[in-house]
Copies of this chain bind each other. A is one copy, B any other.
Amino acid sequence: MPALPAFTDLDPAPRILLGPGPSMIPPRVLRALATPATGHLDPDFLAILDDVRHLLQFVFQTQNELTLAVPGTGTAGMEAVLSNLIEPGDQVLACSAGYFGERLALMAERHGAQVDRLQREWGQVFETEVIQQAVQRKPYRLVTLVHAETSTGAWQPEIHAIAEAVHKAGAMLVLDVVTSLGGLPVRIDAWDIDAAYGASQKCLSAPSGLAPVTLGARARQAIARRRTPPSVFYLDLESLQRYWVEPHAYHHTSPIQTVYGLREALRLVYEEGLEARFERHQRLAQSLWHGLESLGLEMLVPEAVRLPTLTTPRLPPGTDDAEVRRRLRQEFNLEIAGGFGALAGKVWRIGLMGHSCRPENVALLLAALRTILNPSAD
């Protein structure tokens, strides 16, 4: 074997994370991660899973029995929902106005669906009437929609009316709440959503590696009526449910430490309260927007549908995208992200999510950007 490099003590830079996720992890959650492991079938651990399930019902605002955390990242949550609800040949309508809307379409195709795309320019959202008309054209099995598009910073309004139209047409609605869950209102039951998935490392500020998922009655009936078992054993939601609740049948070895972290992060959300949390995200986002505007930056997304959790200012003309982000990182220990896909080099993506959403972080970022973008003003 070739000689290996020296492996030093783990010591990554203590970044201030203001990108599109991960967000910063609160000290209580970091400490929970260091709790010694129990077995994944230990009664003490099953009680912890139960707490996580109840707390996820709380953040999703649902009473859905099948509400759990898939043992993977948000992408695994997306694929769990699609691979359980799609059988080869199914018709899917994918509402795509950004990278994640498009990823839903591509992933549905990998699972054998016939996908029609309803497209909007990146940064825009869908008019309810347009979706109402589109769902009537074919007997779609699923409509996929992104509540908070992490690639553009726009949020989709009128989800309840859209769900109504989808159901009227005999289809089910899958909702991506990766960048909204825990940061702005997500009301699974009130909106009548059939299936939704989020991520642990964004507005919940838990470690990445778990994807909250919830399925309503229509979705579970559809799974029960499948002609073939879901193609992905690891992401088989009814098997996962039989592990999370009675009979607690073995399916995989739960990522125990990450579950500890998620429980503590959800407990923090519960202690803060959803309304207070949403208000904090909205208030600090507004102060960020005003600050960015006072630096001469223009927002990609109009304020009416602008996400509080992810802001996408356009780059000032002539700005060296990578160089600004490098300086933020090296001089201020700050992480923000660039745009990607259609928006690469055109916008920045600034996240104010969960524990990262703090006044001191907004103030520091604005000060740092002022120094880098307007050096003469100093």
* The residue from B5, B10, B41, B250 contacting A32, defined by CB atoms under 8 A apart: B10
Please name all residues of chain B whose beta carbon is closer than 8 Å to the beta carbon of A107 when the two chains form the complex.
233
Do B36 and A34 have beta carbons less than 8 Å apart?
Answer: no
Question: Which chain B residue lies CB-closest to A199?
Answer: B253
Determine the main DSSP class of A at the interface with B: loop
Q: Does A217 contact B (CB under 8 A)?
A: no
Do A270 and B75 have beta carbons less than 8 Å apart?
Answer: no
Do A207 and B255 have beta carbons less than 8 Å apart?
Answer: yes
Stretch among A44-52, A90-98, A302-310, A312-320 lining the B interface: A44-52
Bound Cα distance from A79 to B239, whole angstroms: 15
Question: Which chain B residue lies CB-closest to A335?
Answer: B39
Q: Does A214 contact B (CB under 8 A)?
A: no
Q: Does A58 contact B (CB under 8 A)?
A: yes
Instruction: List A residues 53-77 near B (Cβ within 8 Å).
Output: 54-55, 57-58, 61, 63, 71-76
Question: Which chain B residue lies CB-closest to A31?
Answer: B34
Do B335 and A42 have beta carbons less than 8 Å apart?
Answer: yes
Do A33 and B36 have beta carbons less than 8 Å apart?
Answer: no
Q: How many copies does the complex hold?
A: 2
Instruction: List A residues 265-305 near B (Cβ within 8 Å).
Output: 267, 270
Do A111 and B231 have beta carbons less than 8 Å apart?
Answer: yes
Do A33 and B1 have beta carbons less than 8 Å apart?
Answer: no
Please name all residues of chain B whose beta carbon is closer than 8 Å to the beta carbon of A43 when the two chains form the complex.
329
Please name all residues of chain B whose beta carbon is closer than 8 Å to the beta carbon of A15 when the two chains form the complex.
36-39, 42, 44
Q: Does A40 contact B (CB under 8 A)?
A: yes
Instruction: List A residues 9-36 near B (Cβ within 8 Å).
Output: 10-15, 17, 19, 21-22, 24-25, 30-36
Bound Cα distance from A118 to B44, whole angstroms: 39
Bound Cα distance from A208 to B11, whole angstroms: 22
Distance of A182 from chain B, by nearest CB (Å): 15
Question: Which chain B residue lies CB-closest to A260?
Answer: B10
Question: Which chain B residue lies CB-closest to A266?
Answer: B7
Please indicate which of the listed interface residues A39, A55, A61 has the most CB atoms of chain B within 10 Å of its own CB: A39
Please name all residues of chain B whose beta carbon is closer than 8 Å to the beta carbon of A335 when the two chains form the complex.
38-39, 42
Distance of A314 from chain B, by nearest CB (Å): 21
Interface residues of A (CB under 8 A from B): 1-2, 4-5, 7, 10-15, 17, 19, 21-22, 24-25, 30-45, 48, 51, 54-55, 57-58, 61, 63, 71-76, 79, 83, 103, 106-107, 110-112, 199, 201, 207-209, 229-235, 250-258, 260-261, 263-264, 267, 270, 329, 335, 337, 340
- Please list 27 pairs of residues, one from A and one from B, whose beta carbons are closer than 8 Å in the complex, sorted by A's number: A1-B58, A1-B63, A4-B55, A4-B270, A5-B54, A7-B267, A12-B36, A12-B42, A13-B38, A13-B44, A17-B38, A24-B36, A25-B36, A33-B34, A37-B208, A39-B337, A41-B337, A42-B329, A71-B73, A71-B76, A79-B232, A110-B230, A110-B232, A208-B256, A234-B235, A255-B255, A255-B258
